[in-house]
Amino acid sequence: MITVSVILSSGHTLLIIGLYHSPKFANQEASLIEDITETSDKFLDSNPEGIVLCGKDLNHLDLDTLSVLSGLQALVDFPTRGTAFLDNCMTNRPDLFSTPFSFKALMKTGHLGLV
């Protein structure tokens, strides 16, 4: 997990959380969900109008539990690798984002890209 806080030209503050949830460490899922939730909560405590955007390769992370605990909502509702939903973006402000769509990456990968 990596986080970056950015002040947008509109004056809003955006917290970007980049994740890679390796299937090898599925037993550490609760700890990762707790880290994401604590990071988001701490950011929103100091930036009540802030925007949180969290995502990338979530590899079967329990998004329902993450959503309940953090208040983040998933934006991607289509498979991103075969029939699996591995890549996603979650946010506390889905009203600010357009419906995501996929594209085939130019490099060799089994994942679809997201916009």
Task: Report whether pLDDT(43) > 80.
Answer: yes
Tell whether the model's pLDDT for residue 5 goes beyond 90.
yes
pLDDT of the residue at 75: 86
Say how far residue 29 (Cα) sits from the centre of its chain: 14
Hey, is 95 helix, strand or coil? Answer: helix
C-beta atoms surrounding 80 within 10 Å: 20
Range of the domain at 77: 2-114
E-only strand ranges, the chain: 2-7, 13-20, 51-57, 73-74, 87-91, 102-104, 112-114
Q: Smallest Cα–Cα separation from 93: which of 65, 108, 78, 72?
A: 72
Tell me the per-residue pLDDT of 44-64, one tens digit each, with 9 for 90 and over: 999 999 999 998 877 677 888
pLDDT tens per residue, range 79-102: 666 666 667 889 999 999 888 766
Q: From CA 111, how far away is CA 103, in angstroms rounded?
A: 9
Q: What domain count does the chain have?
A: 1
Using alpha carbons only, how large is the chain's radius of gyration in Å? 14
